[in-house]
Amino acid sequence: MNTRATHSDSPQNADRRTFVRGVGVLSGVIALGHPLAALLPSRAWAVELRVLSSVDAAALLAMIRTVAPHDTLDDAAYALVVNAIDADAAGSTAARADLAAGIASLGAGFARMPEAARVVHLKAIESGAFFQAVRVKTLMVLYSNPIAWAHFGYEGEAFSKGGYLVRGFNDLKWLPDVPPADSGPMPFG
Amino acid sequence: MPRFELNDPDLVVIVGSGAGGGTMANELTRRGLKVVLFEAGKRQSLATFSQNPGEAFGQLTWLEPRTQSGTWDPVKTSPTLPAWHCRTVGGTTVHWTAATPRLQPYEVRARSVYGDIPGASLADWPIDYAELKRWYQAAEMRLGVTRRNGNPGMPASNNFKVMYAGARRLGYKRVHTNYLAINSRARDGRGLCIQQGFCAQGCKTGAKWSTLYTEIPRAEASGKLDLRSECFVTRIEHDDAGRATGVVYRDSAGVEQRQRARIVCVAGNAIETARLLLLSESGRFKGGLANGSDQVGRNYCHHVLSFVFGIFDQPVSFWRGAVLAGVVEDENIHDPRRGFAGGYHLELAMLDLPTLPLIGLPYGWGRDFSSVIDNYRNMAGMLMNGEDMPRPDNRITLSASRKDAYGLPVAHIHCDPHANDVAMRAHAIGQGRKIYEAVGAKRTVVSPMTPATHQMGTARMSHDPGQGVTNAYGRAHEVPNLFISDGSVQTTAGAANPTLTIVALVLRQAEHIGREVAVGRL
């Protein structure tokens, strides 16, 4: 993990409950060994937030990491979830208020708690609307991007590469092949 | 493509362009009838299918709101999406995974074979199996089903190798790469399966049968089809004699229109078909069109569906390859010694990474949840598909709390699983786990009941007008020129994925309509 929460407002004066457009930024650097590191123009990433302060964004990111903990999955993937929640909240005053109240309920210092303490904290609110909204958004966003796909090995779109017919749909070797009577021939040769 | 007049007195109107409606359009235009085919969704093509799973879901899925209640899992695990089907030209044949088993003879005699099961509204089908079988053969020819009529079986994928080895070790005998409406060889002007694993996002080679690029273009080529996509039918109207006279619909601009019809075929799937009949209530048909039996919307069946995943020490890469290219058929029997009536299939299945947490693991969080996904490369998967008991109160009604964009109540789905469903699910999950454990799974994981992908039973066939909505041809008992042309007519669910049965019944219904028109009775 290599993520910074940057304050674009003055921390001394910032009221974390007051949401001002463009207050927060989440940024980080994708690890050198990451499969995407070679593909991207830069390993540095940053997500500009419309609603959340940087402190709140860091708390939310910690919550998302507790909901779906993959130790070696880069923060850049988790930041996409923060970004999506932030964008949703920008849509209405009520949504901003709900999000603010939800993050407030995590308490100060949540992001710095050890995981076991964060789990205890979240267990207490897991049936509530805030937790469930964040959980569902996490499931929807965290696994739907190329960073996660590269991490978990999912190969994504296959049509442009000719499918998997000659690229490993049947390359499993640790079990015997299926007899022809119960399967079928390859469609060539 | 012709555009027929709104007051043309000589048209067949079909509502819905999926397996039932799309096939019916081809069958009727082939017989010289003029057809207006309504589809609520947009038209996509092989070129426009998105291969990003999330985008494809948005492109194809029926996302208008629904409400639900009852004790079935989707109330909790899928509150906004109780049923997963399509809203696009071609209907659910665009995202289906193309498994095409037949119902078994015992399944169309469920009431006689299973006996009187308390809390279930079982009935025998009003069709002889020998008759049904003839139409299955016709449907299998039409769809190019693998392992039938000389079409080669699908080659075995990694995921199937795991299922096969485990199932054989358990002693299962009928295990193969499934009956699929997917070209294992190029045929019928369409390409062959290149094992992409993107069946559910729209098959970009067209190897998988869909009415979008088979039945519908053929109907268009006849010059007798007027396809109106992005047009939503809101009501079926009738005259003083109780005959359907046409439909009211919103056109693609949202403007209300009225299309006259000589015959109306409804094929909106068992949820929307029931909703349309209920929305069409009138002074004569109180409580819904053709609903004197009070059976419209009742007996909603969706199959008992659960994923079982096995996690192994070595890679499987189960996202590669045709999704449902494998089946264990041995449990598709009626053997009460197992503790339940009816049977199930264990079908090969996988979920792409974005969909896995939403459909396969929609409940958990934390380390237990994430450690499953950490093993994505090493997962194998299957889906049980079992017969669910029809229940009078498992039903589609009009929602009291939600309205659609036109101010019409959306469909409300109520489902309480029958004890038989619960016992069957436990058995199937147990067998699925054993299959994977027999080949060294270090962990097995099961999903809850998934959102319903098979919709059946809400306008069931019966010889008795008091017990069913339609006769054995899917013709409404009370409205002689109204036909139900989708899975709604299934008297019971059986364990077969419904599309082949829908097509078989529609081929039969189309012949009936053609005959009745020819002799002047329609």
**Domain annotation for chain B: domains and CATH numbers:** 11-72+83-518 (3.50.50.60)
User: Of chain A residues 74-133, which have a CB less than 8 A from chain B?
Assistant: 119, 122, 126
ipTM, two decimals: 0.93
Residue among A30, A115, A35 at smallest CA distance from A68: A115
User: Of chain A residues 9-28, which have a CB less than 8 A from chain B?
Assistant: none
Beta-carbon neighbour count of residue B520 at 10 Å? 6
Place of tokens 């005259």: B239
Instruction: Check pLDDT > 50 for residue A6.
Output: no
A34 confidence band (pLDDT: 50, 70, 90): low
Residue among A115, A108, A109, A35 at smallest CA distance from A76: A35
Q: Which pLDDT value is given to residue B483?
A: 99
Distance CA B497, CA B443 (A): 28
Q: Inform me whether the C-beta atom of residue B75 falls under 8 Å from chain A C-beta atoms.
A: no
Q: In sequence order, what are the beta bridge partners of B327?
A: B176, B347
Contacts of A155 in chain B (CB under 8 A): 317, 319-320
Residue among B86, B140, B53 at smallest CA distance from B501: B140
In A26-114, which residue ranges form alpha helices assigned H by DSSP?
54-67, 75-89, 93-106
B36, B259 Cβ separation under 8 angstroms: yes
Place of tokens 């090969």: B348
Q: Which residues contact B127 (CB under 8 A, 6 or more apart)?
A: B108, B461, B472
Q: Which pLDDT value is given to residue A21?
A: 44
Q: Which pLDDT value is given to residue A13?
A: 37
Q: Which pLDDT value is given to residue A36?
A: 62
pTM: 0.94
Q: Could you give the angle at which helices A75-89 and A93-106 cross, rounded to 10 degrees?
A: 130
Q: Which whole number is the average pLDDT over A23-30?
A: 78
Q: Which pLDDT value is given to residue B517?
A: 98
Quick one: which H or E segment has residue B270? helix B269-279
B198·A126 Cβ contact <8 A: no
B67-70, strands of its sheet edge to edge = B67-70, B409-415, B395-403
Q: Strand runs (DSSP E) across B407-509, as ranges?
A: 409-415, 443-446, 482-484
Q: Which pLDDT value is given to residue A35?
A: 61
B313, B93 Cβ separation under 8 angstroms: no
B474, B489 Cβ separation under 8 angstroms: yes
| Percent of chain A surpassing pLDDT 90 | 69
Q: Which pLDDT value is given to residue A33?
A: 65
B194, A164 Cβ separation under 8 angstroms: yes
A184: nearest CB among B153, B205, B319: B153
HSE at residue B235, side-chain half, CA atoms within 13 A, is 16
Contacts of B162 in chain A (CB under 8 A): 172, 175
Interface test with A, best of B365, B367, B377, B436 (most A CBs within 10 A): B365
Scanning every residue of chain B, which has its alpha carbon at the shortest distance from the alpha carbon of A161? B196
Q: Inform me whether the C-beta atom of residue B373 falls under 8 Å from chain A C-beta atoms.
A: yes
Q: Please state the length of chain B.
A: 522
Instruction: Check pLDDT > 80 for residue A19.
Output: no
Scanning every residue of chain B, which has its alpha carbon at the shortest distance from the alpha carbon of A120? B366
Quick one: which H or E segment has residue B67? strand B67-70
Where b means 16+ CB within 10 Å and e means fewer, B92-111 reads bbbbbbbbbbbbbebbbbbb
A-B contacts at Cβ under 8 angstroms: 159
A17 confidence band (pLDDT: 50, 70, 90): very low
Angle at B400 between CA B397 and CA B401, to 5 degrees: 130
Instruction: Check pLDDT > 80 for residue A4.
Output: no
Distance CA B154, CA A175 (A): 18
Residue among B272, B215, B225, B231 at smallest CA distance from B39: B231
Q: Which pLDDT value is given to residue A188?
A: 82
Q: Strand runs (DSSP E) across chain A, as ranges?
A: 3-7, 24-29, 44-48
Distance CA B413, CA B419 (A): 19
Contacts of A164 in chain B (CB under 8 A): 194-197, 320-321
Which ranges of chain B have pLDDT less than 50? none
Q: Which pLDDT value is given to residue B1?
A: 82
Q: Which whole number is the average pLDDT over A86-90?
A: 93
Place of tokens 């708390």: A59
A70·B374 Cβ contact <8 A: yes
